A and B are shown apart, each in its own frame.
Chain A
Amino acid sequence: MKRTSVIPRPKAEGPLKPQERSLAALGMTAGMDRRVFLAGSALLTVLPFASAHATPEAMAAAIKEVVGEGTIREGKVKLDLPPLVENGNVVPLTVSVDSPMTPADHVKAIHVFNEKNPQPHVFSARLGPRNGKAVIGTRIKLADSQKIIAIAETSSGAFWSASADVIVTLAACIEDVT
């Protein structure tokens, strides 16, 4: 392996030092490229959990199901939820859409999706001119720190979106604690 590091290292000759011996036991030498090691350990931490949650790809597929061939543009939608959540079991969320809500121009539906809960779909709300204001609030569960996306569908068939990143310190319970 070609060493690309600019830090000069002493030649590994003679018996290994205790620190080097433990590294050698893990199948690596002090000369191993640090980036390779870091990439490997990052992969190890991610892999066991990858299957337990929805993925950004699953979220994209769920969004595709709702939006179809339409294009989603950012804007008009405001997604309010706390940036830091202490308890993922109850996370207040408000979606408001800038719309006159008249019979000619109103919001037909508001959909919310997440990245890392077991299911990407959170809720879909159907609205109309009778609502006066395209604002809805609810409380959701979050299993992990992740990105939340709100998509509004207007009566003209356009899609507008907003996203928010949330840090969750206590995840919504995966196990029953009772």
Chain B
Amino acid sequence: MTNILVNAPKTAKPGEIVEIKALIMHPMETGFRPGTNGRIIPRDIIEHFVATWNGTEIFRMEMSPAIATNPFVSFFAVATESGTIGLRWTGDKGFLAEEQVAITVG
């Protein structure tokens, strides 16, 4: 079970610019660190983060191992119409996590 925290306003005026903050629990293992046995711990990171508004992509981010453990992203979006904001994280080892938040515009 992945822990996800999303902070976005529940309501907004049409055309208002709202901030969306998303935090996900993930080790973001860089693939550069040796473990206790001296071998390199294999890389395990989130590579892509995509945000959609009613299915339309509004923001995308490609991540490198330099992103801190438990990746946090904040970005802005224009509130166009009521609906759902979809957030999707994909990464190494088939990692996939999704979260949706509802927003009312009007």
| C-alpha gap A132/B65 in the complex (Å) | 28
- By the criterion CB–CB under 8 Å, are B66 and A141 in contact? yes
In the complex, identify which listed stretch (A7-15, A122-130, A157-165) lies at the interface while the others stay far away. Answer: A122-130
- Residues of A within 8 Å of B73, CB to CB, are 136-138
Interface size on B, residues (CB 8 A): 33
Interface residues of A in 103-156 (CB under 8 A from B): 114, 117-119, 121-133, 135-142
Which of B17, B66, B67 is most buried by chain A, counting CB atoms within 10 A of its CB? B66
* B59 CB, min distance to chain A CBs, angstroms: 6
Q: Which residue of B lies closest to A178 (CB)?
A: B36
B33 within 8 A of A: yes
- By the criterion CB–CB under 8 Å, are B67 and A132 in contact? no
Dominant SS among interface residues on chain B: strand
- Residues of A within 8 Å of B72, CB to CB, are 137-139
The residue from A91, A114, A136 contacting B75, defined by CB atoms under 8 A apart: A136
- By the criterion CB–CB under 8 Å, are A176 and B62 in contact? no
A117 touching B66 in the complex, CB below 8 Å, given contacts A123-B61, A173-B33:
yes
Q: Which residue of A lies closest to B79 (CB)?
A: A132
Pairs across A and B, CB under 8 Å, 10 listed: A121-B66, A125-B59, A125-B60, A125-B62, A131-B59, A139-B71, A139-B72, A141-B30, A141-B65, A176-B41
What are the 4 A-B residue pairs with the smallest beta carbon separation, nearest first?
A132-B17, A137-B74, A139-B68, A133-B76
Question: 16 other contacts beyond A122-B64, A123-B66, A176-B36, with CB at 8 A cut-off?
Answer: A91-B68, A125-B75, A126-B62, A128-B58, A130-B77, A131-B59, A131-B76, A132-B77, A135-B76, A137-B73, A137-B75, A138-B67, A139-B68, A139-B72, A140-B67, A141-B65
Interfacial residues, chain A to chain B (CB-CB below 8 A): 89-91, 114, 117-119, 121-133, 135-142, 173-176, 178
